[in-house]
Amino acid sequence: MVAATPDPQLIRQAAAALRHAQRILVITGAGLSADSGLPTYRGVGGLYNGHTDDGLPIEMALSGPMLRRDPALCWKYIAQLGKACLAGEPNVAHYAIAQLQRRKPECWVLTQNVDGYHRAAGSPVERLIEIHGQFWPLYCQACNAQEAELAVHLDGPLPPLCKACRGVLRPPVTLFQEMLPAEALRTLERQMTLGFDAVLSIGTTASFPYIHEPMLRTRVSGGFTLEINPQATDHSASMDIFLQGRAAHVMPELISHI
């Protein structure tokens, strides 16, 4: 079912399905944090469109190989994203998701975002899978020493260096051409093996296989699937319900009916 605007009847239907579900997975992407004023790093309205101001695709500038080859250039863009994360804060949709997790003790969040807003909004860390990592604390690539303060480094010389050994610091995020966090992947696979009664996809195109697979498995097993996005995606037509709108507008209303 597809609605051009968030239809109250569809919201009530979605809420009824979630009310009866026990194991729930909420998948979130950049569209959720866009309502916090945080720009995505690609696409219309993002920090970069096409190429960075150094003439490189963002996939190259923000990559693991670039961090090793030219840490100053890579850190130029890490710092821009870090400043954007620190300048924002959770929005009402983050808090609504945390509220859903309080009501549903088997509700998990799988996020592609690295801003830490789910934690800040109160989502339980033990039911939060940050599949692309987060922006802090920094750690030294040479000696693994941790540096808690991200903000102090963002306006200083780049790349920031370790106080102990002068190695290059980095955030625990997954840059382009890097492997996903092994523990996060193991946790996701364990939870997918248990299965979900419902999956919500919020603010993401779900283009990565590890994001799309939980939705597919849940559909195949007869579970409920819901998408919330301002625009339809490649997956919208196959969802049980598609609510067209911004997460900050839809989620509080949805949770109020559960």
The three-class DSSP label of residue 133 is strand
Give the confidence band of 170 by pLDDT, cuts at 50, 70, 90. very high
Q: What's the pLDDT score for residue 209?
A: 85
Rounded mean pLDDT, 116-133: 96
Residue 133 in contact with residue 173, Cβ under 8 Å? yes
Rounded mean pLDDT, 67-79: 94
DSSP for 158-203, please give it: SS-B-TTT-PBEE-SB--BTSPPPHHHHHHHHHHHHH--SEEEEES
- Name the amino acid, one letter, at 223: G
Q: Give catalytic status of residue 118 as yes or no.
A: no
Whether residue 46 is predicted with pLDDT greater than 90 in this model: the reply is no
Whether residue 200 is predicted with pLDDT greater than 60 in this model: the reply is yes
Which range of 74-88, 90-104, 134-148, 194-208 scores highest in mean pLDDT? It is: 90-104
Give the confidence band of 44 by pLDDT, cuts at 50, 70, 90. very low
- The whole-angstrom separation of Cα 35 and Cα 136 is 21
- Name the amino acid, one letter, at 204: T
Q: What's the pLDDT score for residue 4?
A: 47
Whether residue 74 is predicted with pLDDT greater than 70 in this model: the reply is yes
Picking from 124-128, 207-211, 247-251, which range would have the lowest pLDDT averaged per residue?
207-211
Give the confidence band of 84 by pLDDT, cuts at 50, 70, 90. confident
The per-type count for the chain, helices as H runs and strands as E runs, is 11, 10
Residue 35, CA distances (Å) to 27, 94, 143, 226, 227 in order: 16, 10, 38, 19, 16
- The whole-angstrom separation of Cα 143 and Cα 165 is 7
Whether residue 17 is predicted with pLDDT greater than 90 in this model: the reply is yes
- What are the tokens at 244? 């067209």
Q: How far apart are the first and last CA of the chain?
A: 20
- The whole-angstrom separation of Cα 90 and Cα 116 is 9
Q: What's the pLDDT score for residue 208?
A: 84
- The whole-angstrom separation of Cα 193 and Cα 181 is 18
Q: Out of 20, 132, 235, 257, which one is annotated catalytic?
A: 132
ω before 6 within 30° of 0 (cis)?
no
Q: Domains along the chain? A: 1-37+90-134+179-258 (3.40.50.1220), 39-87+136-170 (3.30.1600.10)
- What are the tokens at 165? 């050994």
pTM of the complete model: 0.90
Rg (CA), the chain: 19
